[in-house]
Structure 1
Amino acid sequence: MAKVGYRSIKEISGPLLFVEGIDNAGYNEMVTIETPDGQIRSGQVLDTRKGMAVVQVFGPTTGIDNKLTVVRFTGEASRISVSDDILGRIFNGLGEPIDQGPAISSSEKLEIVGSSMNPYSREEPS
């Protein structure tokens, strides 16, 4: 099913897009960003309030036009393929392998979100 595209970027500030007219975006939701020249970039919702979503762009914001760029909300959080093939591999923050190894083939995908550990509950190194 095709996702609705929004051409309602109010502001671009560093790696952040402020997209207006959004009623149902979720925290950590992944987005695709299509620039006027057809480049596709990824991003993630950092905050939503009063019909606006704050999206962090994973990559440069050059070429993003407030009126012509299309932002699509996927309805899903970032996911990573999981299997024994990921053991010992190196990934970027999007869960993509960056170690020149083979592609990970797995039908199981898990969200790349989790709760952070309270620093006071960590064991002190010896």
Structure 2
Amino acid sequence: MSTQNRSSGLEYTNISEIKGPLLVINGVTNSAFDELVEITTPAGAKRLGRVLEIGGGTAVVQVFEGTTGLSVSETKTRFLGKTMEIPVTDQLLGRVFDGLGRPIDGLPDPVGEKFLDINGESINPERRDFPEDFIQTGISAIDGLNTLVRGQKLPIFSGAGLPHNLLAAQIA
């Protein structure tokens, strides 16, 4: 999957606000939702984030590794012009990674020729198989008001102490 290189290398230092895990950056141009951002702390350490919201020249960036140690006046940001990707290779099998795709098992980084966006491609609802295999549960409230079809996910909401396990077993 290809990614457009929109704003690769554009640096911004005009951070207007740091609130929780978020940075609000003003004067941002040519950026997009979900774009990766490299954040450089005043101490020179690098962190990653992504654009959560963009509009009117302002970008809201979620910092993955926290905002501790960042300052409004001394923090630098660089928009990378791509979304988060991982290499696709057999070297991924059996490995352990953190949420950013970095190995935490002590082995070297996997090397792949092809990189894919972690979000994948959206599923076209028109091309999905139409659900046809009705499941009769014998529970009139479910069969009449919320019919079930084979392959469908079924959330069962229940308060503490109520017989939700019994209900799940009866449906299965």
In the superposition, the TM-score normalised over structure 2's length comes to: 0.63
* Higher-strand-fraction structure: 1
1:39-78 per-position Cα deviation (integer Å, ceiling 9, x unaligned): 1111111111111111011113122111221111000001
1:95 to 101, 113, 118: 101
**What is the match of residue 105 of structure 1?**
111
Match of residue 70 from structure 2 = 64
34-43 vs 68-77, which deviates more?
34-43
> What residue number does 2:79 align with?
73
CA separation of 1:3 and 1:103: change in aligned 2, threshold 3 A: closer
More helix by share: 2
**Greater mean alpha carbon deviation, residues 86-95 or residues 62-71:** 86-95
Q: Secondary structure at the match of 1:76?
A: coil
Where does structure 1 lack aligned partners over 5 or more consecutive residues?
none
- 2:17 corresponding residue in structure 1: 11
Counterpart code for 1:70:
K
Query: Which one of 4, 25, 30 corresponds to residue 36 of structure 2?
Result: 30
State the distance in 2 between where 1:105 and 1:115 align.
22
Gaps of 5+ in 2: 1-7, 124-148, 155-167
How far residue 116 of structure 1 moved from its aligned partner, in angstroms, is: 7.7
How high is the TM-score relative to the length of structure 1? 0.84
Which amino acid counterpart does residue 50 of structure 1 have in structure 2?
Answer: G
Structure 1 equivalent of residue 26 of structure 2: 20
Q: What does residue 54 of structure 1 align with?
A: 60
User: Separation in 2 of the partners of 1:105 and 1:44?
Assistant: 23
RMSD: 2.6
Name which one, 1 or 2, has greater alpha-carbon Rg: 2
Give percent identity, aligned residues only. 42
